[in-house]
Amino acid sequence: MAKNPSKASVEREAGAPVARDAIDPDLIKLRRTRAKVGIITAAGILILCVYFLFRLGPDRRFGGSSDKPTAVAVADVLAGRVDSDEFVQLEAEPLLTNAIRTVKAKGDVGLRLVPVRGTNERLWLALPGDAWDQPVTDNRYEGRLRKLSDMPFAVAARTYAAETPRPIFAASAAVRAAMTTGKVKAVTGDEILLTDSDTIAFDLVEPNKATIIASFNERLPSAQVWLTAFSRAGVPAKLATQKPVDDALGQARFDVEAMSPTDTTMKLELAELWAARVEPVKRHFSTTWGVLKRSPPAGFVAGGAPIPDAQIDLVGVYVARGISDDAYALITTEVPQDYWHVMPITIVLVGIGLLFAWALVRAVRRDLLPTRA
């Protein structure tokens, strides 16, 4: 009876030739060479671990903060007495008219970056970009305090601020003082350096003119009936030159000459014409700082006769100014609980780093150091 071929091959003599279609059992028993981690691989992974540990440092510090924010003052933040990446609460008044919207992609609501009043745009609030969050009614904001330069949107925000004029408002006395110093103090307390090309705008209320908007009713159903009522009340009114009657709204507009808005309102109340309201007439002036700063003491010159300073309430200045390098941002959308995952990631990175540090040492000993006899 023939022997089992596999058993016969096992019992053959050592070194005996192997048939062409047979498998050499000695080759099957050879052990594979153990994989070696090279110096470059170990050093590269170790460097990556150290890099990511460093990058996670701010998030790790913020994630380890107390769940209760620390109350700080705006002055302390600007003076650098408050550490970055802390969970803080501060009282601040945002200037929403100067907000800058930052988005990650088209269609994203992003954040509203709003300067804080009286900080010369050195402190900003990063508020939610949508309108669904609970509004802040007491001007107390809490969140993560960071250097604005550390934020991913810093470059875009600085570029927009430096290229886009934004309005600030100053009293006429402050504008008059700026003609000597070149700096205007806004109503917010900020001091802004002006250039000749900056746009200046203001409105002048006409002292002896007014506009009446009258609503039609059963008693006064038309513009002509209203004119008769105005005449009886002693109000010198006439139909406005532009869009005098709006049939859709059931209203008519009238111009009043040679009578102040206050006197016009008083006469309408005495005549019991309650369906009419009085609005002042304003003239808009626009010029540049280079022209306005040459105004005589008699008043501001904006393309005509000087206008006395006392007749101007506020002056709007449209200035494009950059954001300072030492500016701070309070990220109101972040709380320490959002960063619970940073510590587990840190532990994993430390473990991987130690493993490949040991592999690096072994690789250096194996490949670079001389072998001992």
Q: How far is CA 282 from the centre of its chain?
A: 33
If asked whether residues 74 and 142 sit together in one domain, one would say yes
Task: Give CA–CA dist 362/121, Å, rounded.
Answer: 54
In a domain, 144, yes or no: yes
Task: Give CA–CA dist 275/364, Å, rounded.
Answer: 94
If asked whether residues 206 and 297 sit together in one domain, one would say yes
Each residue's pLDDT, cut to its tens digit, for the chain (373 residues) gives 444 555 554 566 766 777 777 777 766 666 666 778 889 999 999 999 999 999 999 999 999 888 899 999 999 999 999 999 999 999 999 988 888 988 877 777 788 999 999 898 999 999 988 877 777 878 899 999 999 999 888 998 999 998 988 888 999 999 999 999 999 999 888 888 999 999 999 888 888 899 999 999 999 999 999 999 999 999 999 999 888 999 888 999 999 988 999 999 999 999 999 999 999 998 888 899 999 998 998 889 887 788 888 888 889 999 888 898 999 999 999 999 999 999 999 999 999 999 999 999 999 988 887 766 5
Domain region containing 84: 70-164+323-334
If asked whether residues 200 and 229 sit together in one domain, one would say yes
User: What pTM was computed for the model?
Assistant: 0.71
If asked whether residues 314 and 328 sit together in one domain, one would say no
If asked whether residues 297 and 240 sit together in one domain, one would say yes
> By the 8 A CB rule, do 346 and 53 touch?
yes
* 123: CATH: 2.40.50
Looking at residue 9, its pLDDT comes to 47
If asked whether residues 252 and 359 sit together in one domain, one would say no
If asked whether residues 130 and 154 sit together in one domain, one would say yes
In a domain, 62, yes or no: no
If asked whether residues 129 and 218 sit together in one domain, one would say no
Structural domain total, the chain: 3
Task: Give CA–CA dist 9/6, Å, rounded.
Answer: 5
In a domain, 15, yes or no: no
> By the 8 A CB rule, do 210 and 281 touch?
yes
Looking at residue 298, its pLDDT comes to 87
> By the 8 A CB rule, do 291 and 300 touch?
no
- CB-neighbour burial class of residue 98 (10 A; exposed 0-12, middle 13-18, buried 19+): middle
In a domain, 7, yes or no: no
Looking at residue 332, its pLDDT comes to 92
If asked whether residues 301 and 329 sit together in one domain, one would say no
Looking at residue 268, its pLDDT comes to 94
If asked whether residues 256 and 296 sit together in one domain, one would say yes
In a domain, 247, yes or no: yes
Task: Give CA–CA dist 73/91, Å, rounded.
Answer: 7
If asked whether residues 152 and 74 sit together in one domain, one would say yes
Looking at residue 31, its pLDDT comes to 67
> By the 8 A CB rule, do 23 and 10 touch?
no
If asked whether residues 211 and 103 sit together in one domain, one would say no
Scanning the structure block, which residue is given the tokens 């309108």? 131
